[in-house]
Amino acid sequence: MTDRPDHIPWFRKMLEIRLFEEKVQELFMAGLIEGTTHLCQGQEAVPVGAVAAMHADDVLTNTYRGHGEALARGMDAEAAFAELMGRSSGCCGGVGGSMHLTDFSKGNVGANAIVGAGLPIALGCAMAFKLREEPRVALTFFGDGATNIGTFHESLNMAAVWKAPIVFVITNNLYGEYSPLRSTTPIEDLARRADPFGIPGVVVDGQDVDIVYDNTLSAIERARSGGGATLLEMKTYRYRGHSRADPAKYRPDGELEAWKARDPIDILGGRLASEGQLSAEEQQNLRKEVSAEIDAAADRAAAAPPPTFEEIQSYVYAG
């Protein structure tokens, strides 16, 4: 395994994402968040491990289930909560909402609600880097369901032909909106969808942040050194339903429990404890600390004003 940066910030970040999402559920039930939300509890190792392998000037695109990547890429929890609550202090001025946590200053160039929309955007960024001879890489995060969308195949084809500096990251959580992958997709390992395009496709244990990091780093280094695109399939699971309206009753008995037995935070926590880096008690204290920070960030966000009518109107282009 590659030498890793300090593990403790990774552990903290995974806790932050988990507790952020739990707080989002609470705020939604309290009527402070309108619309819908798509949460990522259970998937935290993917954004944290993959984003840790990026350079500061690399970029990413992601999806409506994108709170994890936004926080992993350094978005302040208060700006994220404020966006979800439609406050002017949100990362998009409160007009984007849960599905659009975006921050160009951190190379987070767009969360997309349209399935498959982020792939060509990331490919455009990657080609701009290549044509300008900048040593930068684009990552694009999307779901297993998106691999049945035309833009997935078109983007992989173009990326392969143009040797684009891009990494395609499938967060395979086994479900689309409600449909299990097995009923929509004729193969088990989505990484094999790289084969027709002649690029590497790698199956990755998406529950283990170290393995996510190592594989993403290899793919990013390959892209940065002119080797072209890679498709990574992160095998993981979403603990909640598709969106806040979905109780996820369609899942077979025992499936959720089996995945929780390999919880990504527990896997890293167990490793940190056995290596003597962070005891179980220290982990509990850290959880309390992060939980208090999340509560305070949500309170500050809720106290901010909504955007003014003029601010909202400035994004309407109809003449």
Choosing from 44, 103, 144, 210, the residue that interacts with ligand TPP (CB under 6 A) is 144
> Which of 20, 175, 197, 237 is the binder for ligand TPP (CB under 6 A)?
175
Q: Which of 29, 114, 296, 303 binds ligand TPP (CB under 6 A)?
A: 114
Number of chain positions touching Mg ion (CB under 5 A): 4
Q: Which is nearer to Mg ion, 87 or 238 (CB)?
A: 238
Pairwise CA distance, residues 229 & 91, whole Å: 30
- Residue 241 touching ligand TPP (CB under 6 A): no
* Residue whose C-alpha is closest to residue 230's, from 156, 285, 131: 156
Question: Taking the complex as a whole, how short is the minimal distance between the CB of residue 168 and Mg ion, in angstroms?
Answer: 15
Query: Which x/- pattern, by CB under 5 A, does the window 42-61 give for Mg ion?
Result: --------------------
Choose between 23 and 65: whose C-beta lies nearer to ligand TPP: 65
| Position with the least CB separation from Mg ion | 143
Residue 27 sits at φ, ψ, to 5 deg, of -65, -35
The tokens describing 266, both together, are 């527990």
49 binds ligand TPP (CB under 6 A): no
Cβ 101 vs Cβ 66: under 8 Å: yes
244 binds ligand TPP (CB under 6 A): no
Could you give the angle at the alpha carbon of 272 between the alpha carbons of 270 and 276, nearest 5°? 115
d(CA 38, CA 63): 10
**205 or 246: CB nearest ligand TPP:** 246
Binding residue (CB under 5 A) for Mg ion from 42, 90, 143, 241: 143
Shortest Cβ 299–Mg ion spacing (Å): 32
Is 119 an interacting residue with respect to ligand TPP (CB under 6 A)? no
CB under 5 to 8 A by kind: which of Mg ion, ligand TPP, none does 146 bind?
A: ligand TPP
Taking CB under 6 A as the criterion, which residues in 61-80 touch ligand TPP?
63, 65
Question: Which one among 41, 62, 173, 236 touches Mg ion, defined by CB under 5 A?
Answer: 173
Give which of ligand TPP, Mg ion, none residue 49 binds (C-beta under 5 to 8 Å, depending on kind): none
Nearer to ligand TPP, 146 or 219 (CB): 146
Q: Could you tell me how far CA 44 lies from the centroid of its own chain?
A: 8
**C-alpha of 9 from chain center:** 17
Binding residues for Mg ion, rule: CB under 5 A, are 143-144, 173, 175
Binding residues for ligand TPP, rule: CB under 6 A, are 63, 65, 113-116, 142-146, 173, 175-177, 242
